[in-house]
Amino acid sequence: MSYRIQRRPSAPASTAIMARIGAAASALVIAGSILRWSGADPLALGRHVLAQSFGSRFGLEDLGLMVSPLLLTGLAVAVMQRIALWNIGVEGQFYGGAFGATAASLYLSGPAWAMLGAMAVAGCLGGMIWILVPTLARAYADVSELITTLLLNFVAILLVYYVSTGPWLDRATHQLASTPRIAARVPSIWGTVHWGLPIAMALAVMLAVLFGYTPWGYEVRISGANPEAAPYAGIPMRRRIIAVMLLSGGIAGFAGALELAGTVHRLQGGISNNYGYLGIMVAVLARNSFLGIILSATFMAVILNSGIVLQTQGLNANAVLAVTGLILILTAIGDEAAHYTFIAFDQRAA
Amino acid sequence: MDILTGILTTAFLAGGDLALAALGEVLAERAGVVNLGVEGLMSLGALTAVATATARASPALGFLAALGVGLAFGIVFAIATVTIRANQVLCGLGLTLVGTGLAATLGRTYAGRPSPVTFTPVRIPGLADLPVIGPALFNQNVLVYLVFLVLPVALHILLFRTRHGLNVRAVGENPGAADASGISVARIRFWYVAAGAALAAGAGAFLTLTFVPSWSEGVVAGRGWIAVSLVIFAGYRPINAALAALLFGFITALGFVGQARGWPVSPALLSMLPYLGTLGFIIVPVLAWRRMRRFAAAPAGLGRPYFRDLR
């Protein structure tokens, strides 16, 4: 008997999940080795991070606060992956949503529940408007969504910077570079953790049902898997692309509105905390499974939180971004490796 | 110096890094590999240049060091995408995160400090005395000449006038056919990706050694992504890429003039111009000249890993 390596057309789910776990673990080992080489004690830092994150109610509340935006931005990326498109502009749509929700809170008034509803709608609309041009360009002119969605991130960040330091600047309390505190806030369920977390989880379940068990979701998947064949099956590709991209932008915008109304309460630069970019990670790690995103968002929240804890130890939060990128590259490599298998064959028979 | 000359001079400086990064991306994409890590490579190059120039007081060494760092990261990217054939989009995004994160982490000690040495203008006698364009085009630093005159022409000849260039384009268009005719797909892709990455890091060095002579965390500010977009706009042609970069340098320079002359527009809004301009320039031509699509089409094998047994 001898063995040879063969590539399978698709990787089995269990191998692909192991590849993801392996990628995340190796990235942490590489980061730890670099820390060690630069004179730090990675094991002590790791223990410190775990103790700070899971050892206290304060740490757990912080984690709970970070999971919901990561969950939503991950869902936004995963939704578009169903039709085989990349939304690299979730960061910008997040800002667009926060901008829309702030506008609603500044220019409308009413009871708190009505304000929250208006802010949620305005947030979704903000995200949708932010993805509108890339959507139309993709649907009607075949312009790659990769770069069009991404370029608008920079515009959104500049827009939020502009309004929060200019027209909407808080002049009453002399808050520098931020709008006044918004009136309505999402009620909390546990300490600082608010209703955004269960809402985001419910949305994940709803999307899993929508894409997994409805004819519409099936058509979207077919359109993504085989764009040449889909029109012959009578699927209106263009309409499906537009609907899915606007849905993705809407979810990202909702994430921005929720972050504003639930956690930050003021529109300011840097409100997104890189959630849009990290959402790509969340979706990729979960293999775009909507329920898996709950797990991978929690994992990313721990990573992000460790960055904040490590900052108190004199490390830079940007190091977390580098580690995230490392996980992304190693996941891509692991994904490809998961396609390969050893097969045994009998040389005498061959 | 009149205003037009001033704008043109700034346009060459502001567009130079875009041109260099775009030329690198043309190399990788002509061989069939999308490198979305340009933004990260530029960050690493920008920091390397400042750090080297601080230690050795030589802008040339700073630029070379950035090329070296870019080549090293390019080789890692090529191992992932060409040798292992991992997903190019994921690896590119990962490289951007690693590059920007790493540069920001390692660069803290250099933040806000001006580069101690920069490339200084080299005046070309005679030509520099031409009205308007003379000072803008012929009183620039060495890198500007390299990026706008030497490299675009050299790469154009390499890609479109040599047998080797024909092979490279064949690998990008139809790797299966190229492989069948005896061209080593993996070897060409590997080295073109690595060389393209070196130029991207060099573009970062261009930024901190001429245009914005200091390192700060957000110094690249999406210019890597603009460079990737310019390649599409330029139809994957080196000379067009340099011209497109110059156009964007011009837009950026106009924004500066606007700020300097106190136009009643917020600087933040003026800063949106390059991004909105890029967006317009990759969407409008496709809508306006549908027949031009074939002329400006991407290499057919772009973004797809090549597996010999699936030919």
CA terminus-to-terminus distance, chain A? 11
Q: Other C-beta atoms within 10 Å of B218: how many?
A: 10
User: Across residues A280-304, what is the average pLDDT?
Assistant: 92
Q: Which amino acid is present at A66? A: M
Say if residue A6's pLDDT is above 70. yes
Say if residue A347's pLDDT is above 70. no
* Torsion over CA: A3, A5, A10, A14 (sign): positive
Nearest Cα of chain B lies from the Cα of A247 at a distance, in angstroms, of 22
Could you tell me which chain A residue has the CA closest to the CA of B305? A336
Nearest Cα of chain A lies from the Cα of B2 at a distance, in angstroms, of 31
User: Across residues A271-292, what is the average pLDDT?
Assistant: 91
Mean pLDDT of chain A: 90
Report the pLDDT value the prediction gives residue B254, as an integer from 0 to 100: 84
* Helix-strand-coil split of chain A, %, nearest 5: 70, 5, 25
Q: Cβ separation of A325 and B97 shorter than 8 Å? A: yes
Say if residue B194's pLDDT is above 60. yes
Higher pLDDT among residues A72 and A140, named by residue: A72
Q: Which amino acid is present at B54? A: T
> For tokens 């340098």, what's the residue?
B249
> For tokens 């790493």, what's the residue?
B102
Query: Which of chain A's residues have a Cβ under 8 Å away from the Cβ of B307?
Result: 7
Check CB contact of B280 with chain A, cutoff 8 Å.
Answer: no
User: Across residues B70-88, what is the average pLDDT?
Assistant: 96
Residues B49 and B65 sit within 8 Å (Cβ to Cβ): yes
Q: Cβ separation of B85 and A88 shorter than 8 Å? A: no
Residues 6+ apart with CB under 8 A from B81: B33, B35, B87, B88, B91, B193, B305
User: Across residues A197-203, what is the average pLDDT?
Assistant: 96
Give me the phi and psi of B147, to 5 degrees please.
-80, -35
User: Across residues B263-281, what is the average pLDDT?
Assistant: 86
The per-residue pLDDT for range B158-188, each reduced to its tens digit, is: 999 999 999 999 999 999 999 999 999 999 9
Say if residue A302's pLDDT is above 70. yes
> For tokens 């890429």, what's the residue?
B241
Higher pLDDT among residues A35 and A98, named by residue: A98
Nearest Cα of chain B lies from the Cα of A117 at a distance, in angstroms, of 30
Please report, rounded to a whole number, the percentage of residues in chain A having pLDDT higher than 90: 53
Say if residue B293's pLDDT is above 70. no
The backbone region for A174, taken as left when phi is positive above 0, alpha when psi lies in -120 to 50, beta otherwise, is: left
Closest by Cβ to A333, choosing from B86, B95, B102: B86
Q: Cβ separation of A144 and B90 shorter than 8 Å? A: no
Closest by Cβ to B84, choosing from A321, A323, A333: A333
Say if residue B189's pLDDT is above 90. yes
Higher pLDDT among residues B85 and A12, named by residue: B85
Say if residue B294's pLDDT is above 70. no
Say if residue B134's pLDDT is above 80. no
Mean pLDDT of chain B: 89
Q: Cβ separation of B272 and A161 shorter than 8 Å? A: no
Say if residue A349's pLDDT is above 80. no
Give me the phi and psi of B151, to 5 degrees please.
-65, -50
Q: CA A224 to CA A228: how far, in whole Å?
A: 10
Q: Cβ separation of B36 and A154 shorter than 8 Å? A: no
Q: Give CA separation, A350 vs A1, A2, A6, A35, A346, in Å.
A: 11, 11, 16, 51, 6
Say if residue A1's pLDDT is above 80. no
Report the pLDDT value the prediction gives residue B1, as an integer from 0 to 100: 54
Q: Cβ separation of A333 and B104 shorter than 8 Å? A: no
Could you tell me which chain A residue has the CA closest to the CA of B281? A148
Quick one: pLDDT band at residue A208, thresholds 50, 70, 90?
Answer: very high
State how beta strands A340-345 and A193-194 pair.
Answer: unpaired
Among B residues 197-236, those touching chain A with beta carbons less than 8 Å apart:
217, 221-222, 225-226, 228-229, 232
Report the pLDDT value the prediction gives residue A226, as an integer from 0 to 100: 87
Query: Which of chain B's residues have a Cβ under 8 Å away from the Cβ of A165?
Result: 268
Higher pLDDT among residues B39 and B123, named by residue: B39
Report the pLDDT value the prediction gives residue B126, as an integer from 0 to 100: 73
User: Lowest-confidence range among B4-18, B97-111, B233-247, B296-310?
Assistant: B296-310
DSSP state of B305: P
Please report, rounded to a whole number, the percentage of residues in chain B having pLDDT higher than 90: 57
> For tokens 């603009």, what's the residue?
B226
Check CB contact of B98 with chain A, cutoff 8 Å.
Answer: yes
Quick one: pLDDT band at residue B288, thresholds 50, 70, 90?
Answer: confident
Q: Which amino acid is present at A156? A: A
Closest by Cα among B222, B226, B178 to B30: B178
DSSP state of B111: T
Say if residue B131's pLDDT is above 80. no
User: Across residues A2-18, what is the average pLDDT?
Assistant: 83
